[in-house]
Amino acid sequence: MFDQGKGTSLIVIPGVQGRWEWMKPALTELAKRCRVMSYTLCGDIGSDMKFDSALGFDNFVRQLDQVFDRTGVTRAALCGVSYGGLIALHYAALRPEKVTSLVFVSSPAPGWVPNSRQQRYLAHPWRSTPAFVMTSPLRLWPEIKAAYDTTRERLAFSLRHGLRVMSAPAIPPRMAKRVTMQQRVDFTPDFERIKVPTLIVTGEDGLDQIVPAEVTREYRQLIPGARYVQIKRSGHIGLLTHPAQFADIVTGFINGNGH
């Protein structure tokens, strides 16, 4: 578990791969500005919590309850990154007394359906792993190229990110199960319960090859009054390619709302 910094409490929920380590550059920058906490999603190595099939998506609610208990925090802002946005949404709807504000970062809006390539991965996670690993750099390269001015900077970032991923490997069947499970949940009632200030963050249109920016922007219609910020020269991993800018945006929002 990651728990560093002082000030406003912020819990960052990782994406479908489930590992906070992949977000470390962003977490480190956030820790300079607030108290930031993050964790590994239940069922993965290092999470210290088994996945209970009977609970389904509510496993993530139970786990966030535990994060609050372990850290001693009674109220916090929630920042959901990609898949983590759905967890943040559901938790805020069920535990409004614990959530001060919400941030969705390149998150799929409810109703999002995986594209054909993603569906092939979901159907055969282990068999698809070699192809997924080999093609990941190609999917991320356009936004890495946009984020940095020189080839040296681009390759240096790619190496650092690759090392983070290898040090905290994801479990393909677990990722597939999370997506499949999410597709069966009706999040519609959750939106009526969201009353806290909400921020939506995306990269530029066309650069996010994982969750299109227009899909994440649907939260603007689903949550009245939600604010929106676009990180230029970024796509799905703007929090990693522009961590200081990302941290400024998030902490400026949660602090500006009196939390």
Count CB-CB contacts under 10 A for residue 227. 15
- Give the per-residue pLDDT at 256: 85
Query: Per residue in 71-102, pLDDT tens?
Result: 999 999 999 999 999 999 999 999 999 999 99
Question: What's the CATH number for 2-256?
Answer: 3.40.50.1820
Q: Where in the chain are the domains?
A: 2-256
Q: Exposure of 177 by Cβ count < 10 A (0-12 exposed, 13-18 middle, 19+ buried)?
A: middle
- Give the per-residue pLDDT at 46: 83
- Give the per-residue pLDDT at 53: 87
- Give the per-residue pLDDT at 170: 83
Give the sign of the dihedral formed by CA 235, CA 258, CA 58, CA 65.
Answer: positive
Residue 198 three-state SS: strand
For residue 26, the one-letter residue type is: A
Residues of the chain with pLDDT under 50: 258-259
Nearest to 40 by CA among 56, 27, 31: 27
